[in-house]
Structure 1
């Protein structure tokens, strides 16, 4: 199955959504290469970056599920590298 590298940027405007975000990210853990969260106390938000190596439909599904949560915004950036066969 073709796999791509993508970065999902997540802005969390309310900490009530954090538990649901973590549960969703856990579901997709096998595709996540790394993740970094940065609290921005001055603006009362958190910013999370998630790097994935996954098929397009998996990346889109994760981004969509996160974006549907209240007080959560997402944006996905795909690598320009050509899709490649995932290593088994």
Structure 2
């Protein structure tokens, strides 16, 4: 199955969602290349970027699950190939 490289950008406005985000990311651990999280305390949010190499339907599923969480925004940027 063909895979794509993508970056998932996550902004969590609610600190309570961190555990749910981590659980979803753990479910998809085999596809994750790396991740970086930045707490932005002045604004009360967390900024997370996740690099993945996965089939497009898996990436869409991951972004959808995270984006449906309360107080969380998720967007995906795909590589051209």
TM-score range, shorter chain: over 0.9
1:45 and 2:45 matched: yes
Q: How many residues align?
A: 81
Moved over 6 A (4+): none
Computed over aligned residues only, the root mean square deviation of the Cα atoms, in angstroms, reads: 0.4
Question: TM-score, length-normalised on structure 2?
Answer: 0.99
Question: Structure 2: how far apart are the matches of 1:43 and 1:16?
Answer: 15
Question: TM-score, length-normalised on structure 1?
Answer: 0.91
Q: What is the CA distance between 1:25 and its match in structure 2?
A: 0.2
Larger radius of gyration: 1
Structure 1, unaligned stretches of length 5 or more?
Answer: 83-88
